[in-house]
Homo-oligomer: A and B are copies of this chain.
């Protein structure tokens, strides 16, 4: 436990967030995501759901303001305009960080999978709600 640091930010997760730089991506995935086979670096948060993990991460992680959107979610298959409840929660939490409101974007499922493979790290949660996956792009602090 450390002062001013959300307890979900474990030693490995803090190490990863601090090592990332401008443009590097971190992904929060649900309990059924094939995380181990897609991740370059993996952190498990088996006792937390995806929105708790997101809240912890955005409390310290600056989001990128140089790209169209630093928050990517997965489009509902067959209904790309739909916004599942958990995705709406993701958008709200992401804009609650110290950096304030940020734009978001949903991307097609297989494009999402490709981004995960190239992401800096993946955080596995016990989330079971559908579409409970979100990609964050790190920004800068000046």
Residues of A within 8 A of B (CB): 1-5, 7-24, 31-37, 44-49, 52-53, 59-62, 97-99, 120, 125-126, 128, 130, 138, 140-142
Contacts and interface: CB of A to CB of B under 8 A. Distances in A.
Contacts of A120: 34, 36-37
A3 B142 contact: no
A5 B20 CA distance: 14
Given A15-B11, A15-B14, A18-B14, A3 B47 contact: no
Contacts of A19: 11, 35-36
11 contacts: A2-B61, A4-B59, A4-B60, A11-B16, A21-B32, A22-B32, A23-B34, A24-B34, A24-B36, A34-B138, A36-B120
CB-based closest 4 A-B pairs: A47-B47, A47-B48, A21-B34, A1-B141
A136 to B, nearest CB: 13
A93 to B, nearest CB: 15
A16 B24 CA distance: 23
A62 B34 CA distance: 13
